[in-house]
Amino acid sequence: MIDPKIIRQFFILLLIILIGGLIFSEVAPYLSGVLGAITIYELLKKPMKKLLAKGWHPNLAAVFLMLTSFFAILIPVSGAILMLGNRIGKAVKNSERVVNAFKTQVGNLETRFNYDFTSKIDVSAISGWLSNNLQKFAGSTFTVVIAIGIMYFLLFYMFTNRNQVRETLFEYLPISKENFKILGDEIHQMVRANALGIPLVAIAQGFVALIGFLIFGIENPFFWAVIVTIGSMIPFVGNLLGTIPVFILALSNGSTFQAWGVLLYGIIIVGATDNIIRLFVLKKLDNVHPLITLFGVIVGVPLFGFVGLIFGPLLVSLFIVIIRIYKKEYGRQDDKT
């Protein structure tokens, strides 16, 4: 016979899972606001302590740092998202040009090898797929506004009630003090690596690529530099996301020197930028494993849109840390038995 206490415990756990799952499913579209609050808090935690040490009132210091983050972080990121949303049409148009140019190059191979490749390539289907996914990538304005509101509400509470937040988390999270501290340290390191390291490398590669596009006289150089920046955040893709389409377009226009010049510049010069920054700058930060970043992008972009390039790897890293802490917290008991 099953102990009634076990039945009650199982029933309560089932209710927690069902209600928690329902709440999470509704909050999931705005999860970027929670991750954004954690990210900005970790980045501005030390400045907050310095302001308090100088005698600032906690509320005044929190508002000042929130306004600073709004103008220094949120407006530039929102501007990039808005620019991307406005350029969806241009992105689709460029994608059609790239596919058509690719078909032209493949057509040259067809005549040489007497085999039909291009009949399998549907330009309209590819452009339609890109249009739908780019709109999701840019994100919904209404969702973004709510997520930003949630982010700043949580951020103000975290700044002004730091000790209370810590005690509340420690009370409800079923982990020891030691592992709770490890969790906090890991989150701090992950935020530095994901929110500073990955964008820093991507922006640097985009800037260096822009110089190359201007040197070789590429059409729409700023647009392709943005594509390179986005591609640089994705492992195993990198700057080739922008370099290869430019190479194909230039080759199809008969600009052989321009095409090969851009390709070699992207592989050698822009590629070297990644190694140089990681060597001299990111050695001070924790470098994120490429597989974590890749899975983070796959998970984060459908969930969060553009900011999923940063929050996706952060979410995956946090998941791995929780598993590690669970193993450390409860694995000892299993090893002793």
Q: What is the mean pLDDT of each run of 10 residues along the chain (337 residues)?
A: 74 85 79 84 88 91 91 75 58 60 62 57 54 55 76 89 75 71 76 77 87 87 83 78 82 80 89 75 64 80 74 83 77 52
Q: Measure the CA–CA gap between 39 and 35, rounded to whole angstroms.
A: 6
* Its pTM surpasses 0.85: no
Residues 6+ apart with CB under 8 A from 247: 259, 260, 262, 263, 266
Q: Measure the CA–CA gap between 74 and 40, rounded to whole angstroms.
A: 10
- Looking at residue 159, its amino acid is F
- Looking at residue 157, its amino acid is Y
Q: What is the pLDDT of residue 337?
A: 47
Q: Measure the CA–CA gap between 191 and 45, rounded to whole angstroms.
A: 12
Q: Measure the CA–CA gap between 221 and 213, rounded to whole angstroms.
A: 5
